[in-house]
Amino acid sequence: MPELPEVETIKRQLTEYLPLSVNKSNIAPLAKKIIKTKKQFSLENIIITQIKRYGKYLIFYISEDKILLSHLGMSGSWQISNKPIDKKHTHLQLYCTNPSEKTSLFLAYIDPRRFGQIYFMNRAELEKKISTLGVDISTEDLTTEYIYQACQLHPQKKIKALLLDQKFFAGVGNYIASEICAHAHLLPARECRSISKKEAAKIKLATKKVIERSIKRNGLTFHGGYTDASGNKGEAIGNLIVFYQKQCGFCQSEIKKIIIDGRGTYFCPKCQQ
């Protein structure tokens, strides 16, 4: 958490304010744990021209071949306001203007648990970083054949654990992995070698359904965590079929919980096989 739908929501909301001219920056002392790049990089007198997303990463494109790459970790969020953001755990605040509208805006990175990561890099370094990730699960690169071959590479791995591996499926987190298995009607503890091509096709369709439904509702806020770029909670909790549910959203059977690779995993013993 946040996972692909939450990061995509923030990206879309921030994009509405672009371009942003950054006039001043304020970096809190605790931000040193979050900012991973040690080289000198000024966040003043720059222009944020574009924001993209890959998997769970937000990519801020800045003039002169500069990139700010942000991973939100477990509790991070970027928020924007026409007033200074004084929320607790605000680690980075950029004082901005929109050149065309000439309005003052404040863009802040907020992260209570400080597991987020911020990198400053150029485009070549960005490409190198992205090359370590698998396909973005929201793109056409996620094919049935890709899923099937990933399963073949790790025959003894459990399917839910494979879905969580960012080297194969960029953007999947714990709730998305559980929900994909539910919509594909697959037990999350199934070994990958048992997944047929027909079932790989079901995983592809389930992935598309889960992420699109969550994005439509601005992501999922769970236990008071994620908030979007306006500071609002996501409303996708109503989409959940098995994750942290007592009854299956399809058949109302009792949901079971197991641990897979240290992560709480929820499934319906009737719907999933």
Q: Please list the residues that pair with 128 across neighbouring strands.
A: none
Q: Which of 5, 6, 11, 56 is catalytic?
A: 56
Strand 169-170, strand 135-136: pairing:
parallel
53 is catalytic: no
56 is catalytic: yes
| 232 vs 218: CA distance, rounded Å | 9
| 199 vs 28: CA distance, rounded Å | 48
Q: Which of 2, 6, 157, 160 is catalytic?
A: 2
233 is catalytic: no
Q: Which of 12, 114, 256, 263 is catalytic?
A: 263
| 59 vs 7: CA distance, rounded Å | 11
Structure tokens that stand for 124 in this block: 């070549």
2 is catalytic: yes
| 235 vs 239: CA distance, rounded Å | 9
| 126 vs 108: CA distance, rounded Å | 22
Report, as residue numbers or ranges, the catalytic residues.
2-3, 56, 263
